[in-house]
Amino acid sequence: MSITSLDILKQYWGYDSFRPMQAEIIDAVLNGKDTLALLPTGGGKSICFQVPALVREGITIVISPLIALMKDQVENLKKRNIQAEAIYSGMHFKDIDRVLDNCIYGNVKLLYLSPERLTSELAMERIRQMNVQCIAVDEAHCISQWGYDFRPSYLRIAEIREWFDRRIPILALTATATTEVVKDIQERLEFEEGVVFQNSFNRSNLAYVVLHEEDKSKKLVEICSKVKGSGVVYVRNRRKTKEAAMLLQRSGIKAAYYHAGLSPDQRSEIQDKWINNEIRIIVSTNAFGMGIDKPDVRSVVHLDLPDSLEAYFQEAGRAGRDGQKSFAVLLYNEADKINLEYQYEQAFPPLKEVRRVYQAIGSFLQLAIGSGQGQSYDFDIIAFSKNYNFEPVRVFNCLKILEDGGWLTMTESVYVPSKLRVLVSKEELYDFQLKNRNFDLLIKTILRTSQGAFTYYVNVKEHQLAKFLKISNADLNRLFRGLQQQGIIDYKPQKDKPQLTLLEERIDARDIIFDKKLYDFRKDRHKLRMESAIAYAANAKCRSKQLLAYFGEYDTENCGICDICLERNKTELSPEEFKKYESKIRMIIQDKPLPIEHIVDAFAPKRKGQVLKALEFLLDEGVLRDENGKLTFD
């Protein structure tokens, strides 16, 4: 009897049933159909490609731009005895070579790749030799120039199909996509008779609230004190994470801050404490949240307005995944609008400035003209900016323009653990230990805890090793260096820095050709997204209806629980009563615009206050419009 998807789910994950739409998506993939799945944050997207990978023979290639998430998923799969590997910027060539060989000749079921690694010469050569059964594209909105996080390296994904005689289905997954992006994803990935699975973006248990506050700090403490349970507070920069966390701590609230600048051990410790409810509130930049499935988050508070509703919706959506009443609160004031407009102007520097930054990168990395293609480099943007007297924010935005042009890509900090390999035979190593007793205990511990060190590179957890040996990290590092200098081991210390990868060989900056039409298009789209975010915060319309309309869901009901709907309820107009008034007002106006007094006079005098309130809300929500003192339906 053949194994089923449900069998796999039970065997490896211990679940008796799939979440909504998962089974249908998996069936479509197993039937060889190109599939686009729009699942909300925390909706179980990874199961949709991990289960089919185990049902069928062959390997599934997973493309994702989120390196931390890739590494977490591979680690979790291995814990379930599922063979998975990942290749990303910052890895040593020998490690990449070993992983690719395992995918061809071993029993690896899932290979995770960052998009820029997918089309490297080495990967292209080896992938052609693999028995690929599916291509999964995570964060698929990155392929669309209409989207908020466009990445040019995604545009080459469809090329994989040309490498194989048989047809390989593509599964594209994303949590947020407008109607234009949904269409664009399918076209860019060259879907053939594709299917789209999409639930409503509506979150009926999530109350969206916008509070216009001048003193955001005071309001933040009030919210975190009143709303019990776990919460996330999003801020714009690293400095603010610490300031807000300290503010909450002084108010007796268990809080911690989190950002990409912390060490991997620190981030992991904070994350674990929050998941286990030892910390109630995490204050973070947008670095936090991807791949973390904590269902009982009761509140997500934004101290700053994000520059797109896609980003806001995804971050706010981390609240209330268990279906219980939760809150997504945006603290907003006029400074947010000013800051976003300023950031917009900064986000698109003049192209001559982009060329200067590109030229300086070549000098900083000591790259000759014609070199560097496909190579990744540790890149400290602060050190680079100081060295060449640039503003870090301007450098970041110049890098984004170069990334949009397909010249390079910049990743988040990539943690690569320390590795070592023994270079001598067992007999030679034993002889060395007898003559160098100061290294003896370290060598014995390495051999005891790291199987295979004589044949390949093994990971070394330096912090744990130093603790076991009762020496400092610095002393341990000196011992490793000593062994390396004497030719006993090859030692690669850990690193945790952003990676800059050149997608094309270095050229003279004067020879760079930019697509001005694309540059202007991206600038216009950015402005529209920013204006939509500002309108969401400023307009007195049902928050849920605004968000749903942005993602293409129109004619939806008022949610009844956002700040706008609650204010309406205070007027003693229930949703049912409001609908009755709206219905009668439509009958009165029909196709002929009328002055407000004519509409009010059509009702009983005692209803005047309620009629005026109903008209006010209809105007606020854009259902009615005022044409020279006369009202008509839009």
* Token couple for 100: 């690719």
Q: pTM for the whole thing?
A: 0.78
**Arithmetic mean of pLDDT, 238-261:** 92
- Return the SS3 of 115: helix
Residue 607 predicted with pLDDT over 90: no
Q: How many residues does the chain have?
A: 634
Residue among 51, 114, 60, 107 nearest 86 (CA) = 114
Residue 273 predicted with pLDDT over 60: yes
**Arithmetic mean of pLDDT, 421-448:** 88
**Arithmetic mean of pLDDT, 19-29:** 94
Residue 1 predicted with pLDDT over 60: no
| pLDDT value at residue 61 | 95
- Distance, in Å, from the CA atom of 442 to the CA atom of 480, rounded to the nearest integer, reads 9
**How crowded is the C-beta side of 339, counted as CA atoms within 13 Å?**
13
Q: Which residues of 568-599 are buried (b: 16+ CB within 10 A; e: fewer)?
A: beebebeeeebeebbebbeeebeeebbebeeb
- Distance, in Å, from the CA atom of 600 to the CA atom of 298, rounded to the nearest integer, reads 42
- Distance, in Å, from the CA atom of 271 to the CA atom of 288, rounded to the nearest integer, reads 9
Task: Give the phi and the psi of residue 494 in degrees, each rounded to 5.
Answer: -65, 155
Rounded to the nearest integer, the mean pLDDT of the chain is: 88
- Distance, in Å, from the CA atom of 318 to the CA atom of 176, rounded to the nearest integer, reads 13
Residue 217 predicted with pLDDT over 90: yes
Yes or no: say if 176 and 39 are a contact pair by the CB < 8 Å rule.
no
| pLDDT value at residue 83 | 95
Helices (H), 318-391: 334-347, 351-364, 381-388
Q: Give kind and range of the element (H or E) at residue 477.
A: helix 473-485
The listed CATH number (3.40.50.880, 3.40.50.300, 3.20.20.220, 3.40.50.10860) that belongs to domain 5-198: 3.40.50.300
| pLDDT value at residue 135 | 94
Class of domain 341-416+498-526: mainly alpha
**Arithmetic mean of pLDDT, 582-606:** 84
Yes or no: say if 460 and 418 are a contact pair by the CB < 8 Å rule.
yes
pLDDT higher at 159 or 336: 336
**How crowded is the C-beta side of 129, counted as CA atoms within 13 Å?**
11
pLDDT higher at 455 or 41: 455
**Arithmetic mean of pLDDT, 79-84:** 94
Paired sense of beta strands 206-212 and 255-258, if any: unpaired
pLDDT higher at 75 or 264: 75
* Token couple for 333: 């004031």
- Distance, in Å, from the CA atom of 232 to the CA atom of 208, rounded to the nearest integer, reads 15
pLDDT higher at 572 or 516: 516
Task: Give the phi and the psi of residue 440 in degrees, each rounded to 5.
Answer: -60, -50
The angle subtended at Cα 517 by Cα 511 and Cα 519, nearest 5°, is 75
Yes or no: say if 308 and 148 are a contact pair by the CB < 8 Å rule.
yes
Q: How confident is the model at residue 289 (pLDDT cuts 50, 70, 90)?
A: low
Paired sense of beta strands 376-378 and 230-234, if any: unpaired
In the chain, the amino acid numbered 351 is: L
Q: Which residues contact residue 580 at a Cβ distance below 8 angstroms, ignoring those fewer than 6 apart?
A: none
pLDDT higher at 480 or 616: 480
Yes or no: say if 61 and 132 are a contact pair by the CB < 8 Å rule.
yes
| pLDDT value at residue 166 | 59
- Return the SS3 of 74: helix
- Distance, in Å, from the CA atom of 156 to the CA atom of 408, rounded to the nearest integer, reads 14
pLDDT tens digits, residue range 468-493?
Answer: 888 888 888 889 888 989 999 888 87
- Distance, in Å, from the CA atom of 253 to the CA atom of 345, rounded to the nearest integer, reads 38
- Distance, in Å, from the CA atom of 189 to the CA atom of 112, rounded to the nearest integer, reads 18
| pLDDT value at residue 613 | 81
Angle between helices 516-538 and 309-316 (to 10 degrees): 50
- Return the SS3 of 168: coil
**Arithmetic mean of pLDDT, 196-218:** 93
| pLDDT value at residue 277 | 93
Alpha carbon 411 to its chain's center: 12
Max CA separation in the chain (angstroms)? 105
**Arithmetic mean of pLDDT, 326-333:** 96
pLDDT tens digits, residue range 344-380?
Answer: 988 899 999 999 999 999 999 999 999 998 888 888 8
Q: How far is CA 489 from CA 302, 355, 468, 554, 578, in A?
A: 49, 43, 20, 64, 77
Q: Give kind and range of the element (H or E) at residue 20.
A: none
Yes or no: say if 608 and 572 are a contact pair by the CB < 8 Å rule.
no
Yes or no: say if 82 and 12 are a contact pair by the CB < 8 Å rule.
yes
Q: How confident is the model at residue 149 (pLDDT cuts 50, 70, 90)?
A: confident
Q: Which CATH architecture has domain 206-332?
A: 3-Layer(aba) Sandwich (3.40)
| pLDDT value at residue 213 | 92
Residue 524 predicted with pLDDT over 60: yes
Q: How confident is the model at residue 571 (pLDDT cuts 50, 70, 90)?
A: low
Q: How confident is the model at residue 328 (pLDDT cuts 50, 70, 90)?
A: very high
Q: How far is CA 433 from CA 156, 163, 228, 436, 500, in A?
A: 52, 51, 58, 5, 41
Class of domain 554-633: mainly alpha
Q: How confident is the model at residue 256 (pLDDT cuts 50, 70, 90)?
A: very high
pLDDT higher at 183 or 44: 183
